[in-house]
Chain A
Amino acid sequence: MKKQLLSAVLSATMVASMVVGCGSTNAPEGSVSDATVTSGSAATSAAAAAASSEASADATSEASAAETSDASAAASSEVQPTAVTTVGNASGTHFEMWSFVEAHNSFYAGMVDKWNKENPDKQIEVTFTTYPYSDMHNKLLMSLKAGTGAPDICDVEMGQVPNIYEGLDTWLYPLDDAMKPYASDMLQSRLAAYKGSDGKQYGAPFHVGATVMYWNMAELNKYGITKDDVDAVKTWDDYTALGKKYIAANTADGKYFTSADTGGTDWMWLAMAEYGEDWTGGFDGTANVQLDSVKNMLTMQQEWLKDGVAEVSPDGHVDLEAGYQNILDHNIVSFPKAMWYMSRFINYMPDEKGNWYITKCPVFEDGQKCSVGIGGTGTVVTQQSKDPSLAADFLCYAKMSPEGEQEIWNQLGFDVCNISLWTDDTFAHDKTNQYNQFFQNYPYDVLASIKDEIGTIMTVKISPAINDQMNTTTLNAVLEDSEDVDQALQEAQDAIELEE
């Protein structure tokens, strides 16, 4: 019996060591530089890194970096880059860059070529790696904590900002100097969202994420609601009245004016920005979800659900499969969402071309702000970079210069943070831009009209706890189970206080 066990253990060990052997011998045979590799294997990423390091001037340090990433990849079987690309001048300074969206990396890759053309004395070469969302942030956080293995430049999604920015300038390189040429043109409230608690700028933004109202005019027209009616909506009372008019005209089953989210806090953020409140309390404050704005919004949504003006969003919010289907089926005809949602129309709902109209959001009371910046990517430069100052210069050029912003708008369809461009005719009214073609009006015209009305909700250490509580419990209690708003918020507050 014992011998059997021993032989089983031994053969298992043999098999295991064979697998390890395969991994290391395969590595050097991977891809060459300047090639796109689309593969699920962690070994391939190490191979690409190793291959590019041979080309780069500083081969030894890169090789060790490749080893580290290989080792950490081996430790977690989930970490699988979906694409690795190296672009730029092989004799220039080499950088590693990670993102969780492949389109972001394609954009940066284009900017590397532009940068090298404009800066012959500061040539760079960048290896881009795309990882799945949580894997990338996980890996970044671990490598920052460990002090080794982090890339030079890395995308950080808004929700992960508090975790990554917690290390301040021990982990990250402040961008304040590098962004000086562009900073005055940027929307300041958006830059503020990517500052650390010490007031330094750690992240470069992609977009404002300004929340606007999307209207399905093609469907609304059928029931006698015109653009003039929509433009006349100034307050939520007007909006509710128009909603009632619509559902009175369209009596078919399963048709609603809008949908309320149980799995996302966009509506709450909009309400808070309108009242100038913030449930996180900022860096120094304490979290408080029992705000007038939140109460008013939830009470209003409960009314809508009762009157049949709204339904609960299928799957919890409009940015998931069932949400897209719901929009495609014209079951809802209006909803507030950030400007970046435009790309969802292009990617998932191309049939809707020409149907939709964009306006600013209604407010509770006249004179309130009518929008809020939601989501975003605050790209950082790490202190582990060989040349953080050059990396920061490139990053700010790519994400804040007019050349970069042009590409962000054309390729990614984001509402760029460089305000000077919003009213620039060649930029904002470019007929060849697919987003300008898709919607009934120019998105940037709406943006320019709400320039000073875009609020900010801070993302701080307590934010994940608040979002978690809202998305799992509170919104479901209020909207699905019709629980009393005050009571649900009191429960939420108790749960969040336990976290602090």
Chain B
Amino acid sequence: MKAKKFLYSQKTAPYVFVLPFILSFIIFWVYPLISAIVMSFQNIGAITVQWVGFKNYAKLLKDSVFHIALANSFEYMLFTCLLLIPFPMLFAVLMDSNLVKAKGVWKAVLYIPALTSVVISGTLFRLMFSEYKTGQMNVLMTQLGLQTVKWLKIKWTSEIALLLLCCWRWTGVNMLYFLSGLKSIDKELYESAEMDGASGWSKFRYITLPLIRPTTIYVLTISIYAGLAMFLESFMLWAGNSSPNNIGLTIVGYLYKRGIEKDQMGYACAVGVVLMVIGLIINFIQLYLNGSFKKEEK
């Protein structure tokens, strides 16, 4: 009887329901987070652990490879945000309009890449962008009468490959986010705007854009995080973590290199903590500028 009373109690029920989330949050988020911060002040050997204070962070400051990784990740994050917000939004608006036929097919076509594993798509892109003359991109170049290119050995061409892979994979997903945002906009708003003689552009500018802003903020936030945390795409594109002159090295790739390949967990944790701080700062700035911290109007 007691158990039943406990379960039916209005006070305890909410806690029971959120317990699984709280537990997994503490075990898989809070605990690793704290231990990573602790480990970033240590030198972790095979058997011994040694406190080294801020030595790991001091080393990060003059570690030129880390700076390259930082720059690469920033660049990638910036470009993915620039590409993966306007275009999916455009596609979503098109899908929502009457201009497109066979919408289901288009949605599926755009979404299917997201279902493939990065490992497979990365390998396929590596073969496509091979510097050898039989790689698809080089076959294309030859047919256009151009020189073959060592795609993955040059900074800007490899950036194209990475961004293409990223857009190919994520455009469909972001488009779906925007579509669901669009569905929640009241159609009457458009009708009344039409009566007032609003053009297509002004409807988009003054009704669609402001009303899907929550979706835009959400997509921007996850894009910033995903851009900064990118690793697997570059790992697959160069068949490992070593790219010529580190043109494909990202922060997480560097963390992996230090932690796993060189077994320097303490130093890798310092890299991870820096990544987390950067991610937090950028997202706080972004959310602040978007006004997400302002109190909701009642």
User: In the bound complex, do residue B261 and residue A464 qualify as a contact, i.e. CB atoms below 8 Å apart?
Assistant: yes
Does B190 interact with chain A (Cβ within 8 Å)?
no
User: In the bound complex, do residue A13 and residue B47 qualify as a contact, i.e. CB atoms below 8 Å apart?
Assistant: no
B17, B28, B261: most-surrounded residue (chain A CB, <10 A):
B261
Does B53 interact with chain A (Cβ within 8 Å)?
no
Q: Could you give, for residues 31-55 of chain A, a 1 whenever the CB lies within 8 Å of some chain B CB and a 0 otherwise? A: 0000000000000000000000000
From 159 to 192 in chain A, residues with beta carbon under 8 angstroms from any chain B beta carbon are 162-163, 166-168, 170-171
CA–CA, A442 and B246, complex, Å: 41
User: In the bound complex, do residue A320 and residue B239 qualify as a contact, i.e. CB atoms below 8 Å apart?
Assistant: yes
Q: A171-B46, A472-B244 are in contact. Are A325 and B262 (CB under 8 A)?
A: no
CA–CA, A321 and B134, complex, Å: 11
Report B22 CB to chain A, min CB distance, Å.
Answer: 9
Report A145 CB to chain B, min CB distance, Å.
Answer: 7
User: In the bound complex, do residue B245 and residue A476 qualify as a contact, i.e. CB atoms below 8 Å apart?
Assistant: yes
Does B280 interact with chain A (Cβ within 8 Å)?
no
Enumerate chain B residues within 8 angstroms of A262, measured Cβ to Cβ.
Answer: 244
User: In the bound complex, do residue A263 and residue B245 qualify as a contact, i.e. CB atoms below 8 Å apart?
Assistant: no
With CB as the reference atom, state the residue of chain A lying closest to B263: A163
Chain B interface residue bracket vs A: 35 or more
Enumerate chain A residues within 8 angstroms of B131, measured Cβ to Cβ.
Answer: 314-315, 322
Does B279 interact with chain A (Cβ within 8 Å)?
no
Q: A464-B261, A480-B153 are in contact. Are A170 and B47 (CB under 8 A)?
A: yes
Chain A interface residue bracket vs B: 35 or more
Which of A6, A141, A314, A325 is in CB contact (< 8 Å) with B263?
A: A141
User: In the bound complex, do residue B47 and residue A468 qualify as a contact, i.e. CB atoms below 8 Å apart?
Assistant: no
User: In the bound complex, do residue A322 and residue B257 qualify as a contact, i.e. CB atoms below 8 Å apart?
Assistant: no
From 451 to 500 in chain A, residues with beta carbon under 8 angstroms from any chain B beta carbon are 464-465, 468, 471-473, 476-477, 480, 495, 498
Which of A167, A477, A480 is in CB contact (< 8 Å) with B47?
A: A167
Enumerate chain A residues within 8 angstroms of B133, measured Cβ to Cβ.
Answer: 254
User: In the bound complex, do residue B245 and residue A12 qualify as a contact, i.e. CB atoms below 8 Å apart?
Assistant: no
Q: Could you give, for residues 1-23 of chain A, a 1 whenever the CB lies within 8 Å of some chain B CB and a 0 otherwise? A: 10000100110110011000000
Enumerate chain B residues within 8 angstroms of A321, measured Cβ to Cβ.
Answer: 127, 130
Report B49 CB to chain A, min CB distance, Å.
Answer: 10
Q: Could you give, for residues 104-140 of chain A, a 1 whenever the CB lies within 8 Å of some chain B CB and a 0 otherwise? A: 0000000000000000000000000000001001100
Which of A10, A137, A325 is in CB contact (< 8 Å) with B132?
A: A325
Enumerate chain B residues within 8 angstroms of A473, measured Cβ to Cβ.
Answer: 244-246
User: In the bound complex, do residue B45 and residue A322 qualify as a contact, i.e. CB atoms below 8 Å apart?
Assistant: no
Q: Could you give, for residues 130-174 of chain B, a 1 whenever the CB lies within 8 Å of some chain A CB and a 0 otherwise? A: 111111000000000000000001000000000000000000000
With CB as the reference atom, state the residue of chain A lying closest to B117: A40
User: In the bound complex, do residue B20 and residue A17 qualify as a contact, i.e. CB atoms below 8 Å apart?
Assistant: yes
User: In the bound complex, do residue A476 and residue B20 qualify as a contact, i.e. CB atoms below 8 Å apart?
Assistant: no
CA–CA, A10 and B24, complex, Å: 13
User: In the bound complex, do residue A263 and residue B296 qualify as a contact, i.e. CB atoms below 8 Å apart?
Assistant: no
Does B260 interact with chain A (Cβ within 8 Å)?
yes
Enumerate chain B residues within 8 angstroms of A471, measured Cβ to Cβ.
Answer: 242
Which of B134, B244, B263, B296 is in CB contact (< 8 Å) with A480?
A: B244
User: In the bound complex, do residue A322 and residue B242 qualify as a contact, i.e. CB atoms below 8 Å apart?
Assistant: no
Enumerate chain B residues within 8 angstroms of A16, measured Cβ to Cβ.
Answer: 20-21, 24
CA–CA, A16 and B261, complex, Å: 32
Enumerate chain A residues within 8 angstroms of B24, measured Cβ to Cβ.
Answer: 16
Does B188 interact with chain A (Cβ within 8 Å)?
no
Which of A166, A476, A477, A495 is in CB contact (< 8 Å) with B45?
A: A166
Enumerate chain B residues within 8 angstroms of A1, measured Cβ to Cβ.
Answer: 296
User: In the bound complex, do residue B263 and residue A166 qualify as a contact, i.e. CB atoms below 8 Å apart?
Assistant: yes
CA–CA, A141 and B17, complex, Å: 37
Report A372 CB to chain B, min CB distance, Å.
Answer: 21
Report A125 CB to chain B, min CB distance, Å.
Answer: 31
User: In the bound complex, do residue B18 and residue A167 qualify as a contact, i.e. CB atoms below 8 Å apart?
Assistant: no
Enumerate chain A residues within 8 angstroms of B134, measured Cβ to Cβ.
Answer: 322, 325
With CB as the reference atom, state the residue of chain B lying closest to A1: B296
Return 17 A-B CB contacts under 8 Å, by A number.
A12-B21, A13-B18, A162-B263, A166-B45, A167-B47, A263-B244, A314-B131, A314-B132, A322-B130, A322-B131, A322-B134, A325-B132, A464-B261, A472-B242, A472-B249, A477-B245, A495-B65
Residues on B close to A: CB < 8 A?
14, 17-18, 20-21, 24, 28, 45-47, 62-65, 127, 130-135, 153, 239, 242-246, 249, 257, 260-263, 296
Could you list 10 further interchain pairs (A-B, Cβ under 8 angstroms) beyond the known A166-B46, A322-B135, A476-B245?
A: A10-B21, A12-B21, A16-B20, A162-B263, A170-B47, A325-B134, A468-B242, A473-B244, A480-B244, A498-B63
| Pairs of residues from A and B, 7 with the lowest C-beta to C-beta distance, nearest first | A322-B132, A166-B46, A163-B263, A13-B21, A314-B132, A167-B46, A476-B244
Residues on A close to B: CB < 8 A?
1, 6, 9-10, 12-13, 16-17, 75, 134, 137-138, 141, 145, 162-163, 166-168, 170-171, 254, 262-263, 314-316, 320-322, 325-326, 464-465, 468, 471-473, 476-477, 480, 495, 498
